[in-house]
Chain A
């Protein structure tokens, strides 16, 4: 067993979809760079997939000193077994002190598998990371109890210190075309790629169900939307604002919109720049899914609706009058 002081460096797992690096990776790299500079160590990024080699330079431009690439058609799709095996092996070899993943559905699952494989702790869903200058420990801050409080968590006794980080919680690293770094393309033995699970088919979400977790603007509808047809209005507003459509559980239960749009405790947790709640009263189960949005705008007939308590801006009035006016303004 190596001692804690032997672990050096900050590692980030790069996330991509079909070879396109996801913005959250740049957010992680920005934070990793900051942490590494405080510690006086290097930033490494790990990229797994098929046809991903060409992205390595971009990761260096965004702050990585070293990029490890495993580029193999056998891992074109994310298969957790081989992915976790490869990551664990590299971590054991290179011993970074910090390992960061994005808190996306894909990487959350992978991170927990890696944490168990390495027998270390994992703090999920962090929104703040810092270094304690006294003991060089990573301070991981995350919302707890449905966002009603913040907890700061440390892992003193185990390395690497692992965290998953919420998308949009940190600033993207700026691209510096002059940055230099090292790219290492790894050739791995067949045994690394063994997977008991196989991907049979990948079905893309239909165009209308954009991933609301990635959206900068979300226009959400609740019970007061009254029927499915009325969501067209919200789609239109979302479109002119370049955003996505969300919904409260009430609207989803009524069958007005698909579950993939549901925001809240039993749906998705979102943190867009702007969240527009239309005809949503703001039950706590909905609020926990959206209250970390940068700006919340509420449109509701009922002036005493709890949604106005968390809203930065609000209009007390009829959604069906106000939304069309907003659409007109932003067209």
Chain B
């Protein structure tokens, strides 16, 4: 359950020491951490081209228009 921090807790947090460990502090092997330790690496990240604006059918023949489009796709 999420709780709201109490005033007492907030005051305590102000003076708390937060320890930061480096790899050496936990005796991590250099070869097993970070990119060196990974069997895979990301070569590139690309954004897929945005979908072109779709066709909206309206009014009287809307359903017929969609049916034609669907028939074309089902072939």
Which of A's residues lie within 8 Å of B, judged by CB?
Answer: 119-123, 139, 143-144, 147-158, 241, 273-274, 291, 294-298, 303, 308-317, 322, 325-326, 329-330
Q: Please measure, in the bound complex, the distance between the C-alpha atom of A330 and the C-alpha atom of B7, giving whole angstroms.
A: 66
Q: Please measure, in the bound complex, the distance between the C-alpha atom of A158 and the C-alpha atom of B31, giving whole angstroms.
A: 14
Main secondary structure of the interface of B (DSSP, over half): mixed
Of the candidates B39, B40, B48, B73, which one forms a contact with A150 in the assembled complex, judged by CB atoms under 8 Å apart?
A: B48
Is B25 an interface residue when CB atoms closer than 8 A count as contact? no
Is the CB–CB distance between B73 and A295 below 8 Å?
yes
Q: Please measure, in the bound complex, the distance between the C-alpha atom of A314 and the C-alpha atom of B65, giving whole angstroms.
A: 10
Q: Which residues of B contact A119 (CB under 8 A)?
A: 39
Main secondary structure of the interface of A (DSSP, over half): mixed
Is the CB–CB distance between B39 and A121 below 8 Å?
yes
Given A122-B40, A151-B45, A326-B66, 4 new contacts (CB under 8 A): A152-B42, A154-B40, A241-B70, A315-B63
Among residues 43 to 59 in chain B, which have CB atoms less than 8 Å away from a CB atom of chain A?
A: 43-48, 51, 54-58
Of the candidates B43, B48, B62, B67, which one forms a contact with A152 in the assembled complex, judged by CB atoms under 8 Å apart?
A: B43
Is the CB–CB distance between B39 and A155 below 8 Å?
yes
Q: Which residues of A contact B54 (CB under 8 A)?
A: 296, 298, 308, 310-314
Q: Please measure, in the bound complex, the distance between the C-alpha atom of A139 and the C-alpha atom of B46, giving whole angstroms.
A: 14
Known: A153-B40, A153-B42, A313-B57. A297 touches B70 (CB 8 A): yes
Is the CB–CB distance between A157 and B39 below 8 Å?
yes
Q: Please measure, in the bound complex, the distance between the C-alpha atom of A139 and the C-alpha atom of B43, giving whole angstroms.
A: 8
Q: Please measure, in the bound complex, the distance between the C-alpha atom of A322 and the C-alpha atom of B56, giving whole angstroms.
A: 14
Of the candidates A123, A144, A274, A303, which one forms a contact with B73 in the assembled complex, judged by CB atoms under 8 Å apart?
A: A274
Is the CB–CB distance between A325 and B69 below 8 Å?
no
27 contacts between A and B (CB under 8 A): A122-B39, A139-B43, A143-B48, A148-B47, A149-B45, A149-B47, A149-B48, A150-B45, A151-B43, A152-B42, A153-B42, A154-B41, A155-B40, A158-B39, A241-B70, A273-B73, A295-B73, A297-B66, A311-B54, A313-B55, A313-B56, A313-B69, A314-B54, A314-B57, A315-B62, A315-B63, A315-B66
A296 to chain B, nearest CB (A): 8
Q: Please measure, in the bound complex, the distance between the C-alpha atom of A123 and the C-alpha atom of B74, giving whole angstroms.
A: 33
A119 to chain B, nearest CB (A): 8
Known: A274-B70, A295-B73, A325-B63. A308 touches B56 (CB 8 A): yes
| Chain A minimum-CB-distance residue to B67 | A329
Known: A121-B40, A295-B73. A312 touches B47 (CB 8 A): no
